[in-house]
């Protein structure tokens, strides 16, 4: 079965077959990225614009590299410094860029739903690189590829997602993806960092870290934003680390071969102990970054194939 989507706006609209489709193609790009010559032609002649309305180093670099490796002409636009400061609306910005005939638009925006709104106004394929607290689909896909390669499968696994679930688009996309692929998902964290209605998500919720990590195959840590540390959502950084920071004692509750993941950038000593982050037997954090480029190459390749089919009628 082929890829069914015109855009990649989130995990929510994807079928399991779409997810397999992206991951299978990404495996091939992992090999390409490890080869001496890293050039593909899948996006040759196409124009990719990266519009980041929110600061990003890693995701933007990953999308840029993915586009360049497949031969696209890539342009980066740091939108914080740009026209929005002059009062232009998101839609006008989108229409302006649309007039330049891009083929792929990669968008990050601090507001939930902003990328959906933009996708309604342009003719090209839009990839969501993170919108507010809503979704970050390529992150969930790269996490899925990392898990699949480490565990040999992407179903019937026990996976704990730990930390600030409420404000995390990474958590939302992962909950949706891992659920669609029939895994058991646990959420671990203080109740002030859990979204409302969480009991209806088809997940198990734990407020105790060790209980939450018991016998899991995968431990997925989330970044805790600095501005949430002081008194508002949790009492203090040190109390958070004590109760929810991942260290070897807490990790001992998980399966002996459990892997540790983190979307980065990490706060060592806040949500994760430096020793675990660097443990090559447990941590797959560097591999996640590698998979990120491959997954983004695959996603853009599939969307470009769709554009070509559309152009041919």
- Which of these, 93, 103, 14, lies nearest to 67 by C-alpha position? 103
Which residue carries 């993941």 as its tokens? 261
Binding residues among 138-167 for another protein as defined by CB under 8 A? 166
For residue 7, indicate whether it is catalytic.
no
Judged by CB under 8 A, the residue of 22, 43, 105, 114 near another protein is 114
DSSP code of 40? -
Nearest approach, Cβ of residue 307 and another protein (Å):
22
Binding residues among 182-201 for another protein as defined by CB under 8 A? 195-198, 200-201
Binding residues among 40-99 for another protein as defined by CB under 8 A? 89-91
Distance (Å, rounded) from C-alpha 108 to C-alpha 74? 16
By C-beta, is 68 or 121 nearer to another protein?
Answer: 121
User: Of the listed pieces 22-30, 38-46, 73-81, 114-122, which binds another protein according to CB under 8 A?
Assistant: 114-122
Nearest approach, Cβ of residue 161 and another protein (Å):
14
Element (H, E) at 261: strand 259-261
Is 131 a binder of another protein (CB under 8 A)? yes
Is 217 a binder of another protein (CB under 8 A)? no
By C-beta, is 91 or 100 nearer to another protein?
Answer: 91
User: Of the listed pieces 22-30, 71-79, 130-138, 238-246, which binds another protein according to CB under 8 A?
Assistant: 130-138
Coil vs helix vs strand at 42: coil
Distance (Å, rounded) from C-alpha 230 to C-alpha 219? 25
* Pair 235, 217: CB distance under 8 Å: no
Is 59 known to sit in a ligand binding site?
yes
Choose, from 108, 134, 262, 296, the residue flagged as catalytic: 108
Backbone angles phi, psi at 311, to 5 degrees: -65, -30
Distance (Å, rounded) from C-alpha 261 to C-alpha 269? 15
Which residue carries 């599939």 as its tokens? 302
Tokens of 71: 């031969």
Is 121 known to sit in a ligand binding site?
no
Centre a 10 Å sphere on the Cβ of residue 20 and count the other Cβ atoms it contains. 17
Centre a 10 Å sphere on the Cβ of residue 85 and count the other Cβ atoms it contains. 9
Nearest approach, Cβ of residue 134 and another protein (Å):
3
Which string of b and e fits 161-194 if b means at least 16 CB within 10 Å? Answer: bbbbbbbbbbbbbbbbbbebbebbbbbbbbeebb
Burial class (CB in 10 A: 0-12, 13-18, 19+), 10: buried
Is 7 a binder of another protein (CB under 8 A)? no
Is 172 a binder of another protein (CB under 8 A)? yes
Is 136 known to sit in a ligand binding site?
yes
Judged by CB under 8 A, the residue of 2, 113, 191, 274 near another protein is 113
Tokens of 26: 């990404």
For residue 58, indicate whether it is catalytic.
yes
For residue 59, indicate whether it is catalytic.
yes
Return binding residues: 58-59, 86, 108, 136, 139, 169, 223, 264-265
- Contact footprint for another protein (CB under 8 A): 12, 89-91, 109, 111-114, 116-117, 131-135, 166, 169, 172, 195-198, 200-201
Catalytic residues: 58-59, 86, 108, 136
Would you list which residues are annotated within the binding site for L-aspartate?
A: 86, 169, 223
């Amino acid at each position: 079965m082929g890829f069914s989507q015109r855009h990649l706006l989130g995990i929510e609209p994807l079928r399991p077959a779409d997810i397999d489709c992206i991951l299978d193609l990404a495996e091939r790009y992992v090999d390409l990225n490890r080869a001496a010559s890293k050039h593909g032609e899948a996006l040759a002649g196409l124009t990719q614009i990266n519009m980041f309305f929110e600061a990003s180093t890693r995701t933007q670099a990953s999308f840029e590299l993915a586009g360049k490796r497949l031969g696209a002409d890539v342009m980066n636009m740091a939108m914080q410094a740009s026209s929005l400061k002059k009062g232009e609306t998101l839609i006008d910005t989108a229409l302006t860029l649309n007039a330049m005939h891009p083929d792929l638009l990669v968008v990050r925006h601090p507001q939930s739903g902003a990328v959906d709104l933009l996708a309604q106004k342009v003719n090209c394929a839009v990839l969501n690189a993170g919108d507010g607290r809503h979704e970050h689909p390529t992150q969930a896909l790269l996490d899925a590829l990392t898990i699949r390669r480490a565990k040999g499968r992407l179903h019937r696994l026990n996976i704990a997602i730990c930390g600030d679930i409420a404000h995390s688009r990474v958590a939302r996309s992962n909950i949706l993806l891992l659920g669609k692929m029939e895994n058991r998902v646990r959420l671990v964290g203080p109740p002030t960092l859990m979204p409302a209605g969480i009991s209806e998500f088809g997940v198990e919720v734990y407020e105790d870290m060790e209980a939450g990590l018991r016998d899991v195959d995968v431990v997925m840590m989330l970044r805790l934003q600095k501005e949430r540390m002081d008194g508002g959502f949790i009492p203090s950084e040190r109390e958070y680390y004590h109760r929810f920071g991942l260290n070897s004692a807490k990790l001992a509750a998980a399966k002996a071969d459990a892997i540790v993941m983190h979307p980065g950038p990490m706060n060592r000593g806040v949500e994760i102990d430096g020793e675990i982050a660097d443990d090559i037997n447990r941590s797959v954090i560097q591999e996640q970054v590698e998979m990120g480029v491959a997954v983004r190459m695959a996603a853009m390749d599939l969307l470009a194939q769709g554009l070509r089919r559309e152009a041919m009628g």
